[in-house]
Amino acid sequence: MPTLPLAPDPSAPALDPRPGLSGLAPDELAGWFTERGEPAYRARQVGDAVWGRSATSVDEIRTLPAPLREAIDGAFRFDTVGDTELRLSDGGLTEKGLHRLSDGTLIESVLMHYPARGAMRERHTLCISSQGGCAVGCPFCATGELGFGRDLETAEIVDQVRHAARRLNAAGQRLTNVVFMGMGEPLANYGPVKTALEILTAEWGYAISPRRITVSTVGLAPAVARLIAETGVNLAVSLSASTDVQRDRLMPVNRRYPLAVLLNACRELPLPRRKRITFEYVLLAGENDADADAHRLVRLLHGLRVKLNLIPFNPFPDAGFAPSPRARILRFQAILRAQGIGATIRESRGQDIQAACGQLAAARPAA
Ligand code: SF4
């Protein structure tokens, strides 16, 4: 399917220089009002509209005088992902949002609804992007094939959450989980991602428990340690190979941080008790799904507190890989489980709208 280019083309507008409101901490906003001789409570009024009421424009903040609303509009972007197109799948249980940013960059987020089942409460999980495209270039991932556009700003990350939360609130529901597993490598855009995490977990922000947020990485070893030391979120590491030869081919980042370096860094993490690292493993037919791979994985992960998430490969045009047959996936899982590794198979969502893991390519039919 022909797609619109992800990176800004020469005719695309320049990035709007006004900072996004949702990327500011309360004291930064208060500082702006103080400089203008306005009382500090003005910052709270704006903050309440952004966080509490999920307003869609500054005009909705009727407690502010019109000239002040105009000044805010001139200084800040109220919503950085305002131009959004939604596509639904799985009977409405999966919603993919295609967001056009101020410079024309396209990114995607995916909201997945999980109805209550047995003792499990209903969940609403949002998968968000941290970069426009990705420079890591894993060949089994549509985002990697797309190449790198640019890092997202804090507000562009947070506003993906804000949009989903607004839709959920309107339906009387609540966002329960956020995963950084969309487009991009979050730890390659560390500063804005960390600030976004602070805003998402702050009482004045979305007050989402860090235990309900997961950051997924290909394993930039030094940044992994920093993330765990500086935030309380869950860590997911994409492994997808059981040898360095395999991983060099499937995840080029392995040439910089080979398996031994990555796994040693994981072993040294100051993980709180009862916390585990999730390892993700995309199963590719004939590439990394043999019995021998499962046995090697057991040895590699020995001594680590882990969960293993097996991800059936989700095809995309010209991928050059095929999904492992179901029987192979089950056999792979059985070997791991028999050796005491908790391995689950990730349920695939939104394949028909290219919303599944590894399929995000900001694709939209060309006009
Ligand atoms: S799997 Fe993640 S890190 Fe690899 S190319 Fe895709 S988005 Fe980038």
Which residue matches tokens 């979305």?
A: 206
> What's the confidence (pLDDT) of residue 1?
32
More confident residue, 322 or 83: 322
Residues lining ligand 1, judged by CB closer than 6 Å? Answer: 134, 136-138, 141, 143-144, 183-185, 218
Burial of residue 362 (number of CB atoms within 10 Å: 0-12, 13-18, 19+): buried
pTM of the model: 0.92
From 141, 151, 247, mutation site for ligand 1 pocket: most ligand atoms within 8 A of C-beta: 141
Mean pLDDT score, 30-40:
93
- State both tokens at 101: 């940013």
Contact assessment for residue 182 and residue 108, using Cβ atoms and an 8 Å cutoff:
yes
Q: What is the mean pLDDT of the chain?
A: 90
Residue 352, C-beta contacts closer than 8 angstroms, at least 6 positions apart: 89
pLDDT at 366: 40
Mean pLDDT within 236-246:
97
- Distance from the alpha carbon of residue 284 to the mean position of ligand 1, in angstroms: 15
Taking the mean position of all CA atoms in its chain, how far away is CA 111? 11
141 is catalytic: no
Q: Quick one: average pLDDT of 30-45? A: 92
Residue 134 known to be catalytic: no
89-138 pLDDT tens trace: 988 999 999 999 999 999 999 999 999 888 889 999 999 999 999 999 89
In our burial notation (b when 16+ CB lie closer than 10 A, e otherwise), range 205-226 reads bbebeeebbbbbbbbbbebbee
Yes or no: say if 142 and 362 are a contact pair by the CB < 8 Å rule: no
Q: Which listed residue (108, 145, 185, 280) is catalytic?
A: 108
- Candidates 108, 131, 136: which one to mutate for ligand 1, based on the most atoms within 8 Å of Cβ? 136
Q: Is 286 exposed, middle or buried (0-12, 13-18, 19+ CB in 10 A)?
A: exposed
Q: Residue 10: which pLDDT band, with cuts at 50, 70 and 90?
A: low
Percent of the chain with pLDDT over 90: 74
Find the 132 Cα to ligand 1 centroid distance in Å. Answer: 11
Q: Which residue has the higher pLDDT, 359 or 141?
A: 141
Q: Which of 220, 235, 182, 179 is nearest to 362 (CA)?
A: 182
- Distance, in Å, from the CA atom of 125 to the CA atom of 73, rounded to the nearest integer, reads 31
Determine the residue type at 181: M
